[in-house]
Amino acid sequence: MMPERFQIGLRIEAALMIELEEIATRENKTLGFVTTLLLEWGYEQLKTARTTERLRRCGIPLAEKQAQPIRARVRSRTHEPKAPMAPGVRDEVWRGMKEIALREDKNLGQLAELLLEWSVLQLRAAGSTDRLPK
């Protein structure tokens, strides 16, 4: 029996969407699979750190010493809408992310976007989803 999945509605910057699509192509996986994998992996790292602010301080290094957020290769227009997504995650991940979002006064979409971007930075350093630290 497949575990129940809950969708998280979020909107992400075009640059992050492009990077996720490139990862999916490189890994020969679907965009949804990669997004779910990175969200669930990022959540596990966040559980260890306990807060988004402590991800770096709890010994969970960012991909680069001076990690730069993912930015568009070309200058984005301020009127460009963010791409909508609704990845499905396991029940325990959805509930845990919801608790953290409430505790940090963020909405679930904001927390998911932050985790997704942080996880992509980690994936850049690891080189492959198979090599992400457990």
Per-residue pLDDT reduced to its tens digit, 87-134: 989 999 999 999 999 998 989 988 998 899 889 888 888 888 888 877
Predicted local distance difference test score (pLDDT) of residue 65: 44
The span from the CA of 15 to the CA of 46, in Å, is 23
| 84 bridge partner residues | 11
Task: With both helix axes pointing from N to C terminus, report the angle between 91-103 and 31-49 in degrees, rounded to the nearest 10.
Answer: 50
8, 108 Cβ separation under 8 angstroms: yes
Does the global pTM surpass 0.85? no
Domain ranges in the chain are 6-131
58, 50 Cβ separation under 8 angstroms: yes
32, 132 Cβ separation under 8 angstroms: no
Give the type of residue at 5: R
115, 47 Cβ separation under 8 angstroms: no
Predicted local distance difference test score (pLDDT) of residue 51: 85
